[in-house]
Amino acid sequence: MNPQESVTITPLNYSVHSALLVLEDGNIYVGQPYGAQGATTGEIVFSTAMTGYQETLTDPSYDRQIVVQTFPHIGNTGVNDEDVESSKIWVAGYVVRDPATQISNWRAQRSLDDDLYKYGIVGIADIDTRKLVRHLRSAGVMRAGIFSGDALLDNDGRLKRVEDLLDIVKNSPFMSGANLSQEVSTDSGYIVEPQGEFEGKEPLYTVVSVDLGVKAMSPYRMAERGCRVHVLPASSTYDDIKALNPDGVFFSNGPGDPSTADFEVEQLRKVLDAKIPFFGICFGNQLLGRALGFGTYKLKFGHRGVNQPVQDLTTGKVEITAHNHGFAVDAPKGEPVPSPFGNGHYGRVQVSHIDLNDDVVEGLQCLDIPAFSVQYHPEAAAGPHDAAYLFDRFINQMEQSKQLRG
């Protein structure tokens, strides 16, 4: 029971100066335009992170998603060129309560508004974001659209009816079944050379990172551990990977439904067959799950934030982690099981990490081949650095494998 005695703005009370957020289930929010004006549609999801809006916006995993920020004040520290996770803003739309009118940070180079305009990101501000998030939490994520400016007018310059806007939302694509890797991936390969204390030195390891929507911090975390990272497009075949003679292969995070990524899974199986050390993050974890023969499924409203408690089941320790996933791997927790694919073809597999909030599988560890993955973001941009040890684990795996090979 929620007596909503104070709702005074009816869904019909809007003008050409308003922005409308239209959910596919017919819920409508009237607010102020933010960023670019126009129309946009996508899957509406919420992030509970209180910091890191710049990283969120430039994370390719948010491709085709409208992101709601639960933290009310967004844009306070402006935007800089250091904290971007890719070359552009990926979100399909942006929903905030109270955008900053003054930026303040010694590293700020411009305002967030500037970048939203520049990349044509349609947003909406000044709505009851908590009400929206509570709704998404109970109804689940869904399609939505943001409309402002001319997008609110029909050809005759009259205000469009909400029914018309709702139709646009209902005709937009679903996230389930979407194959987006190619859409977000780099067109051509590039190399990230060793960084930090290893800068300018001969690389210790060579890693091939398959870009399924990779965040800049992932190759950087490997590079600062002495790796040379070849970032390849999502369309790369096993032969392309093998040609670089890597010590390890990394599958990145990325958007879309993992059940559509048959091509990538096929390449991954060849990597596993070749016993090349493998590490996957997020989408990469889902693909390892599928390569091993597990299913994947869509979560009701996903995990998006930087405060999720994940337990490493091998040590019992809890790490606070950054998450951005709407899908998860369906694998049995507890004792190791033979990989379902090929009836134990890849030996035993163990669920290595779980989310303590809802017991969702957050990591897989192969016991008989050098492969592991996590559903969350140890590269942590934005987010806490508690899980950075996983990059060390990958390095160790490559080192062991190197020694075995002699």
Partner 1 sequence: MPKRSDITSVMVIGSGPIVIGQAAEFDYSGTQACRVLREEGVRVILVNSNPATIMTDPEMADATYIEPLSVPILERIIAKERPDALLPTLGGQTALNAAIALGNAGVLEKYNVELIGASLEAIDRGEDRELFKKVVEEAGGDSARSFIAHSMEEVEHIVNDELGYPVVVRPSFTMGGLGSGIARNVEDLHRIAGAGLHYSPTNEVLIEEGLEGWKEYELELMRDRKDNVVVVCPIENVDPVGVHTGDSITVAPVFTLTDREYQKLRDIGIAIIRGVGVDTGGCNIQFAINPRNGRIVVIEMNPRVSRSSALASKATGYPIAKIAAKLALGYTLDEIHNDITETTPASFEPTIDYVVTKIPRFAFEKFPGADETLTTSMKSVGEAMALAGNFQESLGKAMRSIDKRHAGFNWDGPIPSTDEVASLLETIKIPTEHRYLQLMRAIWGGATAEQIFDATKIDPWFIDQLMQINATALEIRAAEALSPQLLRKAKKAGLSDVQISHLRGLGDQGEDVIRELRKNYGIRPVYKTVDTCAAEFDAITPYYYSTYADETELKKRDREAVIILGSGPNRIGQGIEFDYTCVHAVQELGKTYDTIMVNCNPETVSTDYDISDRLYFEPLTFEDVLEIYQAELKLGPVKGVIVQLGGQTPLSLAARLKAAGVPILGTTPESIDLAENRELFGEILEEKGLNAPRYGTALSYDEALKAAQSIGYPVLVRPSYVLGGRGMEIVLEDSQLKEYVGRALKEAQADRVVSGRLPSPLLIDKFLSDAIEVDVDALYDGKELYIGGIMEHIEEAGVHSGDAACVLPPNTLSDSQIKRLRDATLAIAEGVGVQGLINVQFAFMSNTLYVIEANPRASRTVPFASKATGTALAKAAARIMAGETIAESRRLGLLLPEGDGGDIRPGQPVAVKEAVLPFKRFRTEAGRTVDVILGPEMRSTGEVMGFDRDFPHAFAKSQIAAYETGLPTGGSCFISVNDTDKRQLPLMAARLIELGFNLYATEGTASVLRRYGIDVQVVDKLTRASSDSDDMKVVEGHGSIGKNVVDLIEEGAIDLILNTPSSRTSRSDGYSIRAAAIAADLPQFTTATEFLAALMAIEAVKSNDYEIASIQEHAQRLHELDARE
Give me the residues that bind partner 1 (CB under 8 A), please.
1-9, 46, 48-52, 54-55, 70-73, 76-77, 80, 82-83, 97-98, 100-107, 127-131, 133-134, 137, 305-309, 311, 316-318, 320, 356-358, 380-385
Which residue has tokens 């996230």? 175
Residue number, 40 or 77, with CB nearest to partner 1: 77
Least distance (Å) from partner 1 to the CB of residue 76? 5
Q: Report whether 196 belongs to an annotated binding site.
A: no
CA distances from 363 to 3, 277, 288, 354 (A): 42, 16, 10, 7
Query: Could you confirm whether 377 is annotated as catalytic?
Result: yes
Handedness of CA 175, 178, 179, 182 (dihedral sign): negative
Considering only CA atoms, which of 297, 272, 270 is closest in space to residue 361? 297
Residue number, 95 or 276, with CB nearest to partner 1: 95
Least distance (Å) from partner 1 to the CB of residue 311? 6
Handedness of CA 33, 36, 42, 45 (dihedral sign): negative
Least distance (Å) from partner 1 to the CB of residue 295? 25
Q: Report whether 254 belongs to an annotated binding site.
A: yes
Residue number, 73 or 110, with CB nearest to partner 1: 73
Query: Can you tell me the distance from the alpha carbon of 58 to that of 73, in angstroms, rounded to the nearest whole number?
Result: 18
Considering only CA atoms, which of 290, 176, 296, 185 is closest in space to residue 231? 185
Q: Which of 43, 282, 303, 325 is catalytic?
A: 282
Query: Could you confirm whether 379 is annotated as catalytic?
Result: yes
Q: Report whether 334 belongs to an annotated binding site.
A: no
Q: Which of 303, 325, 353, 377 is catalytic?
A: 377
SS3 373: strand
Query: Could you confirm whether 366 is annotated as catalytic?
Result: no
Least distance (Å) from partner 1 to the CB of residue 6? 5
Residue number, 285 or 311, with CB nearest to partner 1: 311
Residue 400 structure tokens = 């062991």
3-state helix, strand, coil in the chain (%, to 5): 25, 30, 45
**Which residue intervals of 155-257 are DSSP H helices?**
162-170, 181-184, 217-223, 238-243
Residue number, 32 or 401, with CB nearest to partner 1: 32
Q: Report whether 327 belongs to an annotated binding site.
A: yes
Least distance (Å) from partner 1 to the CB of residue 78? 9
Least distance (Å) from partner 1 to the CB of residue 126? 9
Q: Report whether 256 belongs to an annotated binding site.
A: yes
**Which residues make Cβ contacts (< 8 Å) with residue 191, sequence separation at least 6?**
228, 229, 230, 231
CA end-to-end span of the chain: 68
Query: Can you tell me the distance from the alpha carbon of 14 to that of 391, in angstroms, rounded to the nearest whole number?
Result: 51
Query: Can you tell me the distance from the alpha carbon of 110 to that of 292, in angstroms, rounded to the nearest whole number?
Result: 46
Residue number, 102 or 245, with CB nearest to partner 1: 102
Q: Report whether 283 belongs to an annotated binding site.
A: yes
Residues that constitute the known binding site: 61, 254, 256, 283, 286, 324, 326-327
Active site residues: 282, 377, 379
Residues that constitute the known binding site for L-glutamine: 61, 254, 256, 283, 286, 324, 326-327
